[in-house]
Amino acid sequence: MNQEIAEAVISILRNFHDKRDGMYFSDSVGICANLDYALQQAQCSKLTTYKLMSYYAIGWEPHTGDENYPIAGYYDRDENDNKVLWVGKQLELRQSLIRYIIAKLEADFIPTSGNYRWNKADKNLMDMWWN
């Protein structure tokens, strides 16, 4: 992953956090599946979003400890027994995780973030996110 792709991921995550709109967002799936689909549409489909999200979710305080499902409960149910992933407590948890991941991505990839620490020697870490 390079700075350009990191910036695209951050932009997509900000949309999920703030508006959750656009043709690449579905409220019936979580962060990873939405990000995966959006990146496929942007022709960055080789990026393994689940590995990326799993790696960057480490250290997030509410993390469940399950690398595949860091958000407790994963979803709630509404009055009609439908899954609810982007409403109420589930929305708050997803927004919190998105803010956490954006901050870590910015620190690793965006030189203007103030604590930029990415260098070419860290390429091995990035290679794990590619198929």
Q: What pLDDT, on the 0 to 100 scale, is given for residue 8?
A: 80
Three-class DSSP labels, 82-123 = CEECCCHHHHHHHHHHHHHHHHHHHHHHCHHHCCCCCCHHHH
Regarding beta strands 76-77 and 83-84, do their DSSP bridges make them parallel or antiparallel, or are they unpaired? antiparallel
Query: Over the chain (131 residues), what is each successive 10-residue block's mean pLDDT?
Result: 77 83 75 84 71 89 89 79 82 92 86 50 44 40
Q: What is the pLDDT of residue 61?
A: 94
Is the overall model pTM greater than 0.95, yes or no? no
